[in-house]
Amino acid sequence: EAGVAQSPRYKIIEKRQSVAFWCNPISGHATLYWYQQILGQGPKLLIQFQNNGVVDDSQLPKDRFSAERLKGVDSTLKIQPAKLEDSAVYLCASSYRGREGLDEQFFGPGTRLTVL
Amino acid sequence: DAKTTQPNSMESNEEEPVHLPCNHSTISGTDYIHWYRQLPSQGPEYVIHGLTSNVNNRMASLAIAEDRKSSTLILHRATLRDAAVYYCIPTRGKDSSYKLIFGSGTRLLVRP
């Protein structure tokens, strides 16, 4: 079974530039998550999709971050404009809503963003 | 959301058992206890979860205290590949907005 795919793996940009990350979840997984992981910290949830609808985006800085999941499959996360503090690894995860609602989340390898 | 306390780091020798503790004294009666781990330069991966009873799977065992205020992840024979950051995460079960709230975790070092 193919895992969660993310691209690019690495990205270096200058502050105030824009950047986009792409995620392809495991086939059949209805739920998709984007996390931000700053060096030395645990991942922090930015946004959660159920199919193509947003379930939780309470931690997403909406003035600069946006995300979409058209057709309920692939997803993109965009930062516009980027700030120095956005330097982090951006992780995508997906899950299949099984019984009891206790889904194991499968994570991709992440995109490491460096903002100069 | 329940708060957790884990040691910042632990060390173990290869092929010896490892007991990773987690305190979650504010856990509610319906919260499950999940453990995930994150190998270097990889995304987190699921290890095990439980509610009240001890649980075993091919990766590890989970021992949950009777009062559910603490739990211990047990790796029966540590290997070098088990060197990772281990996260203990209480989660709301039967909730469509099920999400993981990661703390800082425990960094496990395995000595050859």
Mean pLDDT value across residues B27-37: 89
Per-residue confidence at A102, pLDDT binned at 50, 70, 90? low
* b/e code A26-35 from CB counts within 10 Å (16+ = b): beebbbbbbb
What are the chain B neighbours of A56 within 8 Å (beta carbons)? 97, 99
Cβ-defined contact of B44 to A100 (cutoff 8 Å)? no
3-state SS, residue A54: strand
What are the chain B neighbours of A47 within 8 Å (beta carbons)? none
Cβ-defined contact of B45 to A107 (cutoff 8 Å)? yes
CA atoms of A43 and A89, how far apart (whole Å):
9
Q: What is the pLDDT of residue B53?
A: 86
Q: Which residue has the higher pLDDT, B2 or A28?
A: A28
What pLDDT, in 10s, does the model give residues A3-16?
999 999 999 999 99
pLDDT, chain A, mean: 92
Of B65, B60, B83, the C-alpha closest to B10 is B83
Cβ-defined contact of A42 to B46 (cutoff 8 Å)? no
Question: Which residue among B43, B49, B98 places its CB closest to the CB of A107?
Answer: B43
Cβ-defined contact of B96 to A55 (cutoff 8 Å)? yes
Per-residue confidence at B112, pLDDT binned at 50, 70, 90? very high
At residue B94, does pLDDT exceed 60? no
- How far away is chain A from the Cα of B44, in angstroms, using its nearest Cα? 6
Q: Which residue has the higher pLDDT, B29 or B9?
A: B9
Cβ-defined contact of A33 to B91 (cutoff 8 Å)? no
The dihedrals phi and psi of B74, each to the nearest 5 degrees, come to -115, 120
3-state SS, residue B62: strand
What pLDDT, in 10s, does the model give residues A41-91?
999 999 999 888 998 899 999 999 999 998 889 999 999 999 999 999 999
User: Half-sphere exposure (CA, 13 Å, Cβ side) for B94?
Assistant: 4
Tokens 């010896």, residue located: B16
What are the chain B neighbours of A106 within 8 Å (beta carbons)? 45-46
Q: What is the pLDDT of residue A1?
A: 64
Q: What is the pLDDT of residue A16?
A: 97
